[in-house]
């Protein structure tokens, strides 16, 4: 197993410090054995960058990529690896908003690629696509268009799949250059699989684009998807959903309502009651945001009609919305939506449905540290049959509450308990409420607002505890 694999496994187990030690030790060993700028050492730096990316540490990721790109190649394989490191470094700088630095790296890369492989090679076209994207973000539209046009022609002539993301970028650049110009060359035809790739790449490009111009590109891309993949393809729905969000950012109420209307028709055609309920709620919220009270009420009433046809659909739709709101930290909205969901389930008179929604409500309240969680979970268990999946979830969370331990939703229960116990011993009594673990690592929830000194104490104590727990876990695995 490689150092990177072992480090990522440590990260998944909730031991980021252990993972970091693994990759940094691998770098030191390779540098000592082969030289600091050797192919082996720089490969170790690159693997370290992948770990830091997964661990959500962008500064360390960039430093590792910069170190990897300093390789002094001794053969063609190491030369190719160096080009790859430079490309990844340019892309990472772009993602971090360091556009001038990204441009400098990518220009140097394209120049070296041209000397090595020729100006009309696939590698140069791919590099020019990345460079065009950075120039586009900086407002250098004419040069960006020239570069991406050349890249599209080269990649298309080579039959390279990279033409799809290049065309996606071109769609946005063209609209920035001239909003009335078509996004795609009229003579170019793409197979369905490349249209899918193009649409997915376009969805990733939207955040880097001005909303009004992005709307124009999204419209052309949606039309291409309809023509090539069919008007009910999943990517059309994704593009329309993105159009709704982008139109709201652009203040284009008409575009937002048109997209929602098409989504509603698609949901009706598919017989998707849940989709229709979600869309009607979105329509109501869109009308309300624009101050159209009558239209908002009408949309919410249409959503309510689904309760008569099938309250399960409305209840589950509201619960799904509530879970999303909780995930993004909007606890107040999440609670309100769950109350509405439970109300809808009571109208259904289905005990199982009511119990399931009460379980969801109890779990969300528990994660938010609300004392009402236990009552909701107990009520759910009164309605659910023994062995029901949601009954098991409710029981597990209720037991965690009664025992004063983490529920385990965000990581290993034993590890969380060990961290919580060790922290309690180091912090003032009553300060720590709970410890959770998510994709970003450990999260400490405090019972009150800490003072500046207490805030520093919490950070210091958490670092100490994680080091101790990690060392103990490594000792246990080695014995």
Question: What is the per-residue pLDDT for 120?
Answer: 85
Is the pLDDT higher at 340 or at 299?
340
Residues 388 and 436 in one domain: no
**Total domains in the fold of the chain:** 4
**294 falls within a domain:** yes
**458 falls within a domain:** yes
Residues 277 and 298 in one domain: yes
pLDDT digits (tens, 9 = 90+) for 120-152: 889 999 999 999 999 999 999 999 999 999 999
Domain with 458 in it? 410-479
Residues 216, 176 contacting (CB under 8 angstroms) = no
Structural domain ending residue among the three candidates 247, 271, 295: 271
Question: What is the per-residue pLDDT for 439?
Answer: 44
Closest by Cα among 166, 210, 173 to 190:
166
**130 falls within a domain:** no
Structural domain ending residue among the three candidates 404, 423, 441: 404
3-class secondary-structure state, position 240: helix
What's the mean per-residue pLDDT of the chain? 84
Residues 289 and 318 in one domain: no
The CA distances from residue 81 to 46, 59, 78, in Å, are 10, 22, 5
Q: Concatenated DSSP letters for 432-477?
A: EEEEEEETTEEEEEESSPPPHHHHHHHHHHHHHHHHHHHHHHHHHH
Residues 396 and 414 in one domain: no
* Cα–Cα distance measured from residue 67 to residue 273, given in angstroms and rounded to the nearest whole number: 53
**49 falls within a domain:** no
Residues 339 and 396 in one domain: yes
Sequence-distant contacts of 141-144: CB under 8 A, at least 24 apart:
141/173, 141/176, 141/177, 142/177, 144/173
Structural domain ending residue among the three candidates 221, 250, 271: 271
H/E stretch holding 345: helix 331-348
**369 falls within a domain:** yes
- Output the pTM of the full model: 0.62
pLDDT digits (tens, 9 = 90+) for 403-423: 877 676 655 556 666 777 788
Question: What is the per-residue pLDDT for 437?
Answer: 62
Tokens of 271: 């017989």
Q: What is the CATH number of the domain that holds 381?
A: 1.25.40
**241 falls within a domain:** yes
pLDDT at 49 over 60: yes
pLDDT at 477 over 60: no
**462 falls within a domain:** yes
**224 falls within a domain:** yes
Q: 7-21, 48-62, 199-213, 413-427: which range is least confident on average?
A: 413-427
- pLDDT cut 70: percent of the chain above it: 87
Residues 194 and 263 in one domain: yes
Residues 422 and 469 in one domain: yes
pLDDT at 32 over 50: yes
* Cα–Cα distance measured from residue 88 to residue 94, given in angstroms and rounded to the nearest whole number: 10
Residues 384 and 397 in one domain: yes
Specify the residue for token string 């017989």. Answer: 271
Residues 396 and 432 in one domain: no
């Amino acid at each position: 197993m490689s150092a990177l694999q072992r480090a990522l496994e440590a990260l998944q187990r909730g031991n980021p410090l252990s993972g970091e030690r693994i990759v940094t030790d691998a770098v030191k060993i390779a540098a000592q054995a082969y030289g600091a700028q050797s192919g082996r050492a720089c490969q170790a730096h690159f693997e370290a960058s992948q770990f830091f990316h997964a661990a959500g540490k962008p500064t360390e990721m960039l430093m590792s990529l910069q170190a990897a790109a300093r390789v002094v190649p001794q053969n063609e394989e190491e030369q190719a690896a160096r080009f790859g490191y430079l490309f990844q470094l340019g892309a990472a700088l772009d993602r971090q908003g360091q556009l001038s630095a990204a441009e400098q790296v990518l220009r140097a890369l394209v120049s070296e690629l041209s000397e090595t492989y020729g100006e009309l090679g696939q590698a140069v076209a791919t590099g020019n696509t990345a460079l065009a994207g950075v120039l586009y973000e900086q407002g250098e539209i004419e040069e960006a268009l020239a570069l991406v046009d050349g890249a599209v022609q080269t990649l298309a002539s080579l039959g390279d799949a990279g033409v799809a993301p290049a065309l996606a970028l071109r769609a946005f650049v063209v609209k920035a250059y001239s909003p009335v110009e078509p996004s795609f060359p009229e003579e170019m035809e793409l197979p369905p699989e490349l249209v899918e790739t193009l649409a997915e790449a376009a969805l990733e490009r939207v955040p880097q684009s001005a909303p009004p111009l992005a709307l124009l590109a999204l419209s052309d891309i949606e039309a291409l998807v309809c023509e090539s993949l069919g008007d009910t393809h999943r990517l059309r729905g994704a593009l329309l959903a993105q159009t709704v969000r982008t139109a709201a950012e652009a203040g284009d109420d008409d575009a937002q309502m048109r997209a929602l209307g098409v989504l509603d028709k698609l949901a009706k055609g598919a017989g998707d009651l849940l989709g229709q309920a979600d869309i009607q709620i979105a329509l109501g919220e869109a009308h309300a945001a624009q101050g159209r009270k009558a239209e908002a009420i009408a949309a919410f009433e249409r959503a309510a009609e689904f309760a008569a046809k099938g309250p399960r659909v409305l209840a589950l739709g509201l619960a799904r919305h509530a879970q999303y709101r909780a995930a993004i930290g909007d606890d107040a909205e999440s609670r309100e939506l769950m109350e509405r969901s439970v109300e809808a389930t009571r109208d259904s008179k289905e005990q199982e449905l009511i119990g399931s929604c009460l379980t969801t409500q109890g779990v969300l309240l528990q994660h938010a540290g609300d004392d009402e969680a236990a009552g909701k979970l107990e009520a759910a268990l009164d309605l659910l049959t023994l062995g029901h999946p949601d009954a098991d979830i409710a029981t597990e969370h209720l037991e965690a509450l009664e025992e004063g331990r983490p529920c385990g939703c965000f990581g290993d229960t034993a590890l969380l308990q060990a961290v919580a116990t060790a922290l309690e011993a180091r912090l003032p009594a009553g300060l720590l409420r709970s410890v959770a673990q998510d994709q970003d690592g450990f999260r400490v929830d405090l019972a009150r607002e800490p003072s500046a000194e207490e805030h520093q104490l919490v950070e210091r104590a958490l670092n100490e505890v994680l080091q101790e727990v990690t060392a103990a876990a490594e000792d246990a695995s080695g014995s």
